């Protein structure tokens, strides 16, 4: 199932957060504990109030809050920190006509403890791959590029699972084989995955360059990786080869 991009991308309002699944039971939703929400304007934001051109939209916050799983059998406590800002919109009167401008706070997560699960990991997935994917989830909100780097590591571990050659000897010395070459060594029985492997590799390469990746790029990689995991460990077929071909053609973002 493709990543629900809306719930992971759009900032939320206090008391009205997206429908995030509990990372522990993957059944209940996370509900904000209102009394736990705290915010503070940053030092730089406070100083900018004296600027002659200051507007409320210049305000920047840091925030922290607690969520609780709605599943009675779980009730996991999830803690979240992030950043906030002020946005504006129009107020309307009883006749539906604009009556003035209104301001409201919006908040963007940076870290969850325990972290949210961005994609579903099949139970039969090897522990090493699971670990790298969880590391990726942990960094997803704070650093999309770092998150994608862990997906690249997970791909290397997936090739290890398939027993794809990792080292070669040249002039009597042992060398690590590049990820690109390892993918080229994938046997014909796994050829259906080659395009998907290359797509993740290209995105992983871009994650290490200046500028890095944005959230949608990492979500592309998640969609492809979930497709592979489903097919390999759950034997489910996904329609993501078109996306992989697109990324391979442009060799990255």
Reduced to 3 states (helix: H, G, I; strand: E, B; else coil), residue 93 is coil
Q: Which of 113, 141, 170 is the last residue of a domain?
A: 113
Domain shared by 242 and 131, yes or no: yes
pLDDT digits (tens, 9 = 90+) for 22-38: 999 999 999 999 899 99
User: Do the domain assignments include residue 119?
Assistant: no
Q: Is residue 149 part of a domain?
A: yes
DSSP string, 8-37: HHS-BBTTB---PBPTTTSSSBEEE-GGG-
For 175-229, the pLDDT digits (tens) are 899 999 999 999 988 888 999 999 999 988 887 777 778 889 999 999 999 999 9
Token representation of residue 135:
């590391």
How many domains is the chain built from? 2
Average pLDDT, the chain: 89
Bridge partners, 109 (sequence order)? 82
Instruction: Return the pLDDT at 205.
Output: 83
Residues 176 and 222 in one domain: yes
Residues 134 and 235 in one domain: yes
Q: Kindly state whether residues 183 and 235 are assigned to the same domain.
A: yes
pLDDT at 59: 96
Q: Averaged over 99-125, what is the pLDDT?
A: 91
Q: Which domain holds residue 74?
A: 5-113
Whether residue 86 has pLDDT greater than 60 = yes
Same domain, yes or no: 109 and 132: no
CB 127 within 8 A of CB 154: no
Does the residue 171 lie in any domain?
Answer: yes
In a domain, 210, yes or no: yes
What is the signed CA dihedral for 11, 12, 18, 24, rounded to 10 degrees?
Answer: 90
Within-domain flag for 241:
yes
Q: What does pTM read for this prediction? A: 0.85
Among residues 124, 125, 120, the alpha carbon closest in space to that of 137 is found at 120
- In this prediction, residues 134-147 reach a mean pLDDT of 94
Nearest to 224 by CA among 207, 205, 204, 199: 199
Query: Which among 80, 100, 82 is positioned nearest to 90, based on CA atoms?
Result: 100
In a domain, 182, yes or no: yes
Residues 133 and 106 in one domain: no
Are residues 204 and 230 located together in one domain of the fold? yes
pLDDT tens track for 52-79: 999 999 999 999 999 999 999 999 999 9
């Amino acid at each position: 199932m493709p990543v629900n991009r809306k719930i992971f991308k759009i900032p939320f309002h206090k008391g009205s957060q997206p429908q995030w699944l509990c990372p522990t039971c993957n059944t209940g939703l996370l509900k904000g504990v209102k009394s736990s929400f705290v915010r503070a304007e940053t030092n730089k934001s406070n100083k900018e109030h004296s600027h002659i051109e200051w507007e409320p939209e210049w305000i920047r916050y840091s925030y922290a809050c607690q969520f609780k799983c709605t599943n009675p059998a779980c009730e996991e406590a999830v803690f979240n920190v992030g950043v906030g800002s002020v946005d504006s919109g129009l107020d309307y009167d009883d006749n539906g006509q604009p009556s003035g401008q209104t301001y409201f706070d919006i908040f963007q997560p940076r870290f969850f403890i325990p972290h949210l699960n961005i994609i579903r990991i099949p139970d039969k997935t090897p522990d090493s791959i699971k670990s790298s994917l969880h590391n990726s989830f942990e960094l997803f909100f704070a650093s999309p590029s770092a998150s994608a780097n862990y997906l690249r590591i997970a791909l290397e571990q997936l090739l290890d699972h398939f027993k794809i050659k990792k080292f070669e000897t040249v002039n009597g010395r042992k060398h690590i084989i590049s990820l690109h070459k390892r993918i080229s060594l994938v046997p014909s029985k796994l050829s259906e995955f080659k395009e998907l492997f290359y797509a993740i590799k290209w995105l992983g390469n871009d994650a290490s360059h200046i500028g890095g990746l944005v959230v949608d790029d990492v979500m592309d990689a998640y969609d492809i990786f979930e497709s592979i995991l489903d097919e390999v460990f759950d034997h489910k077929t996904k329609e993501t080869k078109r996306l992989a071909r697109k990324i391979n053609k442009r060799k990255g973002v």
